[in-house]
Amino acid sequence: MRKRLFILQLLLTAVTFSFAQNSYELYPSNWWVGMKYNKIQLMIRGNDVGKHSGFAIRYSGVTLNKVNKFSNSNYVILDISIAATAKPGTIGIRSVNANGKQSNFEFDLVPRRKGNGTSYANGATSSDLMYLIMPDRFSNGDPSNDRVPGMKDQTLRRDTVFNRHGGDLKGIQNHLNYFTDLGVTTLWLNPIIENDMAERTEHGYAFTNHYKVDRRLGGNEAYRTLINAAHAKGIKIIQDAVYNHVGIDHILFKDQPDSTWFHRWPKFTQTNYKDQALFDPYAAMVDKKIMSDGWFVTSMPDWDQSNLFVQNFLIQHALWTVEQFGIDGWRIDTYAYNDLAFMNRCNKALYDEYPRISIFGETWVHGVPNQSFFCENKYTIPYKSNLQATTDFQLLFYGIKAACNEKFGWTDGVNKLYTTTAQDFLYKDPMRQVIFLDNHDLPRFYSVVGEDTSKYKMAFAWMLTFRGIPQMYYGNEILMTGFTSPNDGYVRQDFPGGWDGDKENKFTAAGRTEKENKLFNYIKRLANFRKTSSAIKTGKLMQFIPVDGVYVYFRYDAKQTVMCVMNTNAEPKTIDLSRFAERMNGYRSAVDVAAGIEFKLEKELQLMPVSNLVLELK
């Protein structure tokens, strides 16, 4: 009996040892030859790997500089240098475990992706029209991944906004022709990285493993396939980055290397959301600390980005993603809550490796000075951001929203749009700013304007002709509605026709109502016009002070002049064109871009109530 027990014990030990050997994880999983970022920190995670000794690498051009160990013996981080002379291949890493047995790890060194700055990492610019998609709510191209065994969230209910609905990357890929027809040139996807949390996982902002694309969206291969297919059609891909926090079930939070990787407080401390504390000359240090180091919610641990290991983990993942999948740029979530010195370092690493990449940050703040503080600006102050641009909440909150919904006054209505735009002198390059009407966190703009199609068309005409990079939210083109109350899920409804069996298919003209088709075609005409309009894509902006609720601005360059007229009044208006001689001299006629009609320019221009004209001057 004792002999049997001893044999069973040996078998169990062998199984455990085999499991430990096979369960080691390497982050990043590979690297590339010829990278400027050639000093990496390779994390090995696994059972008692920190108790190993004698780590060694024998590979030409690759040097092991240092072995970093932590209080948690499940981690070791190797500082590795990769010389310019190193060739692609599999690097063998040897160590000796606590039992004196040799362990072997393999790390691939591979050739770089071709086409840096042309076929990938090409950046979104003012020449693009960006389309924001929440993958779970857009289209279900592969029902087999709706539920993934072993993942915590097994919900799949389309009759509630609280659960997953099954949309995925294949569903997006299936509609690439739809985007091209509409005039879209860039897709920005809400996070696609694994969110293996217990609930509310459809939005994607609580990562649990940086190196895995969520399998319910199709996984790494589906992402790679989508990007390749999009690029083949001339469509760029922007990925959503979250540097500030992770989900509480992230592998590095559940099993932390040591106590310095996340911000810790005696009791739960939420951020105060007061960005002013970061630049206020009179700010208290405690307010700054709570702003930057406080957690968003109890389920989202806040990285301690003063930890160099954390910094390198996040930077390496960003570089790895661009090279591995071939994305074109980054949108950075909750930018103001990060360690800003770290963000400069991270941004620079990306700029150095990918000179044409674009990076813009979410800055849900109030005031152009506040917003411009977080991106490249013209201030002479101690902190200088190297972030190219932000999501322009100011032109939304204190610009186009007021122009559409407020009565005209000295500081009200469309005057707010004029005044906010006049503060562009604070930005290094306002043309990089991302302008928008709504997104996954905001009420849908069609609802904001009371489902008034005239106001909605006026706002869209502004967005598609103004300075910056226009971003529309999925479903804008078919008049989708929704408010964030009682829950933000109501602005994240499914795109009708994205699921087999949907009663309506809004991807086709036949499935849309007459009203929806009119709006869809209006956006399509303006979006495709801007594709060929040098004045709108890269030209200058000149605005005239609004008079009596009428706002006029011009986009122009040496080749083309486009006149944009916004009548925010509920009654018709007539404007004297001689006031705009500075930009109109020499022009005799104009083409109404939306209507496709050319007409002779007279002394006056008649304007319909609540309307916008986009006129290409001839």
Q: Are 392 and 436 in contact (CB under 8 A)?
A: yes
DSSP state of 451: T
Quote the strand ranges of 446-497, DSSP E. 469-473
Task: Write down the catalytic residue from 142, 240, 293, 362.
Answer: 362
Alpha-helix runs per DSSP H in 23-64: none
Are 524 and 572 in the same domain? no
Q: What is d(CA 271, CA 293) in angstroms, rounded to the nearest whole number? A: 7
DSSP state of 109: E
Are 127 and 234 in the same domain? yes
Angle ∠(453,456,461) on CA atoms, nearest 5: 125
How far does CA 344 lie from the centroid of its chain?
Answer: 17
Q: Is residue 318 part of a domain?
A: no
Check residue 125 and give its pLDDT: 98
Helix (H) or strand (E) holding 557: none
How far does CA 90 lie from the centroid of its chain?
Answer: 33
Question: What's the order of all strands across the beta sheet hosting 597-600?
Answer: 540-547, 550-556, 561-567, 611-617, 589-592, 597-600
- State the first-to-last Cα distance of the chain, in angstroms, to the nearest integer: 100
Are 177 and 229 in the same domain? yes
Q: Is residue 174 part of a domain?
A: yes
Are 87 and 135 in the same domain? no
Q: Is residue 461 part of a domain?
A: yes
Angle ∠(570,571,576) on CA atoms, nearest 5: 125
Are 90 and 127 in the same domain? no
Low-confidence ranges of the chain (pLDDT < 70): 1-22
Q: Which residue has the tokens 């928008």?
A: 436
Task: Write down the catalytic residue from 333, 392, 424, 494.
Answer: 333
**Cα separations in angstroms, 520 against 183, 476, 527:** 11, 9, 10
Q: What is d(CA 419, CA 224) in angstroms, rounded to the nearest whole number? A: 43
Q: What is the CA radius of gyration of the chain?
A: 27
Q: Are 566 and 610 in contact (CB under 8 A)?
A: no
Q: Is residue 568 part of a domain?
A: yes
DSSP state of 391: B
Q: What is d(CA 480, CA 250) in angstroms, rounded to the nearest whole number? A: 34
Q: What is d(CA 207, CA 465) in angstroms, rounded to the nearest whole number? A: 36
- Please return the burial class of 613, using the count of CB atoms within 10 Å of its CB with bins 0-12, 13-18 and 19+: buried
Residue 207 maps to which CATH number? Answer: 3.20.20.80
Of 532, 549, 567, the position where a domain reaches its end is 532
Q: Is residue 117 part of a domain?
A: no
Tally of CA atoms within 13 A in the half-sphere of 483 that contains its CB: 7
Quote the strand ranges of 33-88, DSSP E. 39-45, 53-57, 62-69, 75-82
Angle ∠(355,361,364) on CA atoms, nearest 5: 165
Are 527 and 546 in the same domain? no
Known catalytic membership, residue 571: no
Bond preceding residue 301 cis, omega within 30 of 0: no
Q: What is d(CA 209, CA 194) in angstroms, rounded to the nearest whole number? A: 6
Check residue 23 and give its pLDDT: 83
Q: Are 57 and 91 in contact (CB under 8 A)?
A: yes
Are 78 and 154 in the same domain? no
Are 82 and 155 in the same domain? no
Three-class DSSP category at 369: helix
**Short-list 107, 86, 137, 45, CA closest to 475:** 137
Amino acid code (one letter) for 528:
N
Three-class DSSP category at 132: strand
Q: Is residue 336 part of a domain?
A: no
Domain count, the chain: 3
- DSSP per residue over 284-344, as a string? -HHHHHHHHHSBSSTTSPBB-TTSHHHHHHHHHHHHHHHHHH---EEEETTGGGS-HHHHH
Are 161 and 233 in the same domain? yes
Of 510, 532, 554, the position where a domain reaches its end is 532
Residue-wise pLDDT for 551-603, tens only, equals 999 999 999 999 999 999 999 999 999 999 999 999 999 999 999 999 999 99
Helix (H) or strand (E) holding 104: strand 102-110
Q: Is residue 306 part of a domain?
A: no
DSSP state of 113: P
Of 532, 567, 600, the position where a domain reaches its end is 532
Q: How many CB atoms lie within 10 A of CB 567?
A: 27
Q: What is the number of H-type helices and E-type strands within the chain? A: 17, 26
Q: What is d(CA 159, CA 167) in angstroms, rounded to the nearest whole number? A: 14
Are 560 and 460 in the same domain? no
Known catalytic membership, residue 376: no
Residue 98 maps to which CATH number? Answer: 2.60.40.10
Q: Is residue 4 part of a domain?
A: no
Q: What is d(CA 241, CA 362) in angstroms, rounded to the nearest whole number? A: 10
Bond preceding residue 28 cis, omega within 30 of 0: yes
Q: What is d(CA 350, CA 319) in angstroms, rounded to the nearest whole number? A: 6
Longest dimension (CA), the chain: 108
Q: Are 222 and 168 in contact (CB under 8 A)?
A: yes
Angle ∠(499,500,503) on CA atoms, nearest 5: 85
Q: Are 327 and 120 in contact (CB under 8 A)?
A: yes
Are 138 and 168 in the same domain? yes
In this structure, what token pair is assigned to residue 611? 């309307």
Q: Which residue has the tokens 């297919």?
A: 229
**209 lies in which domain range?**
123-238+440-532
Are 503 and 552 in the same domain? no
Amino acid code (one letter) for 76:
V
Helix (H) or strand (E) holding 95: strand 89-96
In this structure, what token pair is assigned to residue 109? 């060194």
Quote the strand ranges of 504-610, DSSP E. 540-547, 550-556, 561-567, 573-576, 589-592, 597-600, 604-607
Residue 553 maps to which CATH number? Answer: 2.60.40.1180
Q: What is d(CA 350, CA 478) in angstroms, rounded to the nearest whole number? A: 36
